[in-house]
Copies of this chain bind each other. A is one copy, B any other.
Amino acid sequence: MKELESFRVNPDLLKQFCAEVFEKLGLSDIQANITADQLVWADLMGIGSHGVTRIGIYARRIQAGLVNIKPDIKPVKETSSVAVLDGDNGLGQVVGVRAVELAIEKANKYGVGVVGVRNNNHFGCAGYYALKAIENDMVGIVMSNAPSTMAPWGARVPYLGTNPIAFGVPTKEFPPILLDMATSIVARGKIILSAKEGKAIPEGWAVDPEGEFTTDPELALKGAVLPFGGPKGSGIAIMIDILSGILSGAAFGPHIGSLYDDFSRPQDVGNFMIVFNISDFCPVDEFKERIEKMREEIKSLPRAKGVEEIMLPGEIEFRNYMENRRSGIALSPEVIKELKEVGESVSVKFSL
């Protein structure tokens, strides 16, 4: 088994495998490719918790009829700059890309585009959608609510999700600035991966069902993860739920269906995306010059003890991206086993 631990696969072939699986599950060619691209992108960025390891659960939900493979995604409310998009219970990535494209279109015309999304499913890394804004020389903010796993400040049981927020900024030089974070101390996906790999989690990440700190990922998944930064992070997570869930007309708090544990109904996840067209604020070149100045200044600051290099948001992930494009994506034996199983269930052979 030893050599399997560092097994690296070609990202393009991995994407092709994923797309084939999704097509066999009944998704259109376009939907399958969007979803495969988003998942492999997460693995390229080194965010394995949100990468191809999610294919298994997506497939099971599609096979159980809980995800609409032919969704009619359309705005149910719309002004020039704002839209509420009904995802029609489509796969999260498919709906997410449609939403950010609509926000970009509106930003292009009116300076800002805001799209709230209801009736969506788990859409993976929020950063992927913010990157679409970056690619259009725009600044993007992408939020999502998520199934209840996190205790609000002052409580000891879950109510909020680990509601992520991403913030993307185009730059003159590679890499762009891309903040992509859960509002929990740590992404719940990392606890799921630790559980799959049988590894303990650090103290302070989560409490067990009795409200006591635990290092056992299985108990943590049954208990509650905690918000980052105490009451402030809890407040940010509430903000994300109010915008993504309550304002967009999706479910919120504990009313969102669990991705893994609730096979009785669709998830009804909500998203909220805001895209700003830079050129309606200032010349794009000037903006990028100023960003480069900020980057150079921050990176050359005197460092805290034990810090080798000051990193801007997304910098580590884009380094992973370049390295993983070159050397392939390292998949654990557990994830490979998962991929083989899901492939077999739809007669697509995993042989990378």
Contacts and interface: CB of A to CB of B under 8 A. Distances in A.
Given A238-B313, A298-B155, A81 B84 contact: no
A337 to B, nearest CB: 33
A82 B157 CA distance: 41
Nearest to A247: B281
A135 interface: no
A14 interface: no
Contact of A253 (B157, B243, B297): B297
Contact of A312 (B177, B238, B309): B238
Given A114-B111, A281-B249, A239 B310 contact: no
A280 B77 contact: yes
Interface in A102-146: 110-112, 114, 116, 139, 141
Contacts of A310: 152-155
Given A155-B298, A155-B302, A281 B238 contact: no
Contacts of A254: 297
A34 interface: no
Given A159-B301, A301-B157, A291 B242 contact: yes
A232 B180 CA distance: 9
Given A167-B239, A253-B294, A247 B282 contact: yes
A1 interface: no
Contacts of A304: 151, 154-156, 211
Contact of A232 (B159, B181, B242, B253): B181
A193 B274 CA distance: 37
A290 B249 CA distance: 9
How many of chain A's residues touch chain B, expressed as a range? 35 or more
A179 B228 contact: no
Nearest to A167: B239
B82 A303 contact: no
B276 A114 contact: yes
Given A232-B228, A281-B249, A297-B254, A81 B156 contact: no
Could you say how many copies of this chain the assembly holds? 2
A311 interface: yes
Main secondary structure of the interface of A (DSSP, over half): mixed
Nearest to A116: B281
B239 A233 contact: no
Given A247-B276, A282-B249, A179 B301 contact: no
Interface string A12-53: 000000000000000000000000000000000000000000
B280 A152 contact: no
A58 interface: no
Contacts of A111: 79-82, 114
Interface in A194-236: 211, 228-230, 232-233, 235-236
B80 A110 contact: yes
A82 B152 contact: no
B252 A294 contact: yes
A160 to B, nearest CB: 9
A246 interface: yes
The 3 closest A-B pairs by CB, nearest first: A229-B229, A82-B111, A79-B111
